[in-house]
Structure 1
Amino acid sequence: MKTLPSFIKIGLILAFQFSFAQFTDEINSNRPGRSMMAFSVGKTIIQAESGINYVSEDHKALNYKANGLLGEFDIRWGLFFEQLEFIAEIQYQKDTYTTANFEKDRSALKKTLIGAKYLLYDPFKNYEEKPNVYSWKANHRFKWRQFIPAVAVYAGANLNFTDNPYNFAPSTVEEAVISPKAMVIAQNQFGSRWVLVTNIAYNKIGTDFASIDYILTLTRGFNKRWSGFIENQGFMGDYYSDGIVRAGAAFLFNKDMQIDASIGKNIKDTPNLISGGIGFSWRFSKNYQEIKMEKDNGSKMDKKMKKKGKKEAKKRKDAID
């Protein structure tokens, strides 16, 4: 995301996120996609992102079905530096599991993940493109800089303190109480409306459930209120490998609130997964203080000519006096 997106991954508003600070005029939520953007919410900012989804699971080979609700709740907190963000992610699922022989209700924390993200590189920091007053064509030419992504790194820990009935591994394989997750995040802005977010992660490192995962999210801003996205997520592990395609839209209710909706479907039938839901993101920014960072004032020659001009102006003023 999905970034200066007012809506979780919103291309149009995202354009402004590539300014010198992480904070943006509009909320930049990771919803409704599943990817994590490279930029943080901003120092002292607290942001909550939540959603409720209907989930349907149908396994042809094992002949079972499960239908129910999945609740999501994420807290993002910018602390210490503009580039640093702490994140807590929680998923709770409650469903009914049905086979040919019996039916039972299930409920558990499906995911509990705590981590931190740090922005390493912003290609637009201290960069200011000066317009060409003589050429419309020069101002609208293709810009290669947009292929240089902003880059961030993430480190976190999965927590599992209870039996999780939603694991895809056999019941004889016990999941670790704590397992690490590491991720690299890249974010590109193409023009003023398109944003591409790429996440590559190594999850549950050192356990039987370890997997290499990826998420690609492409977002387009339609106007200052609406944006849409498409997304592909992949899992590559010993016990579970799959691909999921999602699509959805987000609406900026005001500068600190966003609502969204999305739907997703995987590519296999062992099991066949379908989900759809709505979400809400809210930002508390009352304590934020704008951080002013020095901009690049131009080339050495520009600075030299500017300095020379000041000296000549001073000489003229002294001569008049």
Structure 2
Amino acid sequence: MKYLPTFFLLILSNFCFGQFNETIRTGRPGQAIGAFTVGKNVLQFQQGLDYYSTAETNLPERFIFNNVVRYGISETVELSALVDYQYEDSGVDTAATTLKGISNLHFGFRVHLNDQKEWLPATGFQMRLKMPDVSEDFEANHLAPAMVFIANWSLPKNMSLATNWILSYNGNDPNPTGKYIVNFGFPIYNKFSGFVENYGHVNQSVFQTRFDGGFAYLVNNNVSVDLFGGYGHNQNVTDYFVSTGISWRIISFKKN
């Protein structure tokens, strides 16, 4: 462990290619994130409102207001924070419960490792730490890491394929969760684009998988809005969600 900081410094010192893109690159819509960072001195916000429910009336409904802030400290390294505020209602009249508060507070970084070379993907690595003791209703007892290896391919006709491979902890028990995401993106018309996605996770031999899809509209080079939804059927429970959001960035102080 004592050599870990030196290892990261050696990696970062080898990155000198540019990351800033003429149009905004965002983690919305969908679950997958990209291998690229925002670019040096670029400040980016990704905000959304999610609604989750199930076909079973005895399970809770959830609203989540999610916020991601990203800032590029170099062309290939960014710092980031994630803040989720959650409202949850059981919906059961006889024993109704309501939970609310910050359900996630993460701080971390993303590094772009390499660009795509023919069929070898562009890759990146992201790590964030979930903070403990930030909410009474959604408390994590310990600091918890989430690590993501990212592999992206640019395909012909402005299509794309993105994969994420994730190992994360919840901060309450020592059991890790392994996750995967496979995202296929495609243009629709003019400034409209779409995607379809499959994602899932396994924890203590329990496997769940879900599908989602939707579209985004590029308002201008620095602003994008989106709408998407998803569905799953696992362990005899059917669940679904819808999400809408906006991504925007500030580049006026970017140094040329």
TM-score class, shorter: 0.7 to 0.9
The residue aligned with 2:6 is none
Secondary structure class of the residue paired with 1:222: strand
2:159 is aligned to: 194
1:110 and 1:164 in contact (8 A); partners too: no
Q: After superposition, what is the alpha-carbon deviation per residue over 1:98-129, rounded to whole angstroms, capped at 9, x for unaligned?
A: 347411221132222211111111135xxxxx
Larger mean CA deviation between 241-250 and 105-114 belongs to: 105-114
Q: Tell me the percent identity.
A: 23
Structure 1 length as normaliser, TM-score? 0.69
Are 2:90 and 1:97 aligned? yes
The reply to whether residue 248 of structure 1 matches residue 242 of structure 2 is: no
Q: Which amino acid aligns with 1:179?
A: A
- Higher CA-based Rg: 1
CA distance in 2 between counterparts of 1:43 and 1:205 reads 31
User: Matches of residues 63-102 of structure 1 in structure 2 within 5 Å?
Assistant: 64-79=58-73, 81-99=74-92, 101-102=94-95
Separation in 1, partners of 2:235, 2:192? 33
Residues 187, 197 of structure 1: 8 Å contact kept: yes
Q: Shift of residue 240 of structure 1?
A: 5.8
Is 1:38 the counterpart of 2:4? The answer is no
Report the counterpart of residue 284 of structure 1 in structure 2: 250
1:1-321 equivalence runs, <5 A: 21-58=18-55, 64-79=58-73, 81-99=74-92, 101-124=94-117, 145=118, 147-162=119-134, 165=137, 175-204=140-169, 207-238=173-204, 241-268=207-234, 271-290=237-256
> How many Å apart are 1:29 and its aligned residue?
1.0
Q: CA deviation at 1:254?
A: 0.9
8 Å contact from structure 1 (residues 209, 239) kept in 2: no
Q: Secondary structure at the match of 2:255?
A: coil
Summarize the Cα distance change of 1:66–1:77 in structure 2 as closer, same or farther, 3 Å threshold: same
AA aligned to 1:247 is: G
- Contact between 2:131 and 2:140, CA under 8 Å: does it hold in 1? no
User: In the aligned structure 2, how far is the partner of 1:158 from the partner of 1:271?
Assistant: 28
Contact 1:184–1:199 (8 Å) recurs in 2: yes
One-letter identity of the residue aligned with 1:66: P
SS in structure 1 at match of 2:179:
strand
Output the aligned Cα RMSD: 2.3
Aligned-partner Cα distance in 2 for 1:97–1:48:
31
Contact between 1:195 and 1:218, CA under 8 Å: does it hold in 2? yes
| Total equivalences in the alignment | 239
Q: Please give the secondary structure, in 2, of the residue aligned with 1:34.
A: coil
Partner of 2:97, secondary structure, is strand
Deviation at 1:214, TM superposition (A): 1.1
- TM-score (normalised: structure 2): 0.85
| Contact 2:112/2:125 (<8 A) preserved | yes
CA–CA distance in structure 2, aligned partners of residues 153 and 118 of structure 1 = 5
User: Residue 71 of structure 2: SS of its match in structure 1?
Assistant: strand
Counterparts in 2 of 1:265 and 1:160: CA distance versus 1, 3 Å = farther
Q: Which amino acid aligns with 2:65?
A: G
Distance across 2 between alignment mates of 1:286 and 1:178:
35
Paired with 1:235 and 1:213, the residues of 2 have a C-alpha distance of 4
In 1: Cα distance, 2:106 partner to 2:212 partner: 22
Is the 8 Å Cα contact of residues 58 and 66 (structure 1) preserved in structure 2?
A: no
Paired residue type of 1:24: N
Q: Distance in 2 between matches of 1:164 and 1:216?
A: 34
Write 1 or 2 for the structure with the bigger share of helix: 1
Counterpart amino acid of residue 180 in structure 2: Y
Q: Distance in 1 between matches of 2:130 and 2:46?
A: 19
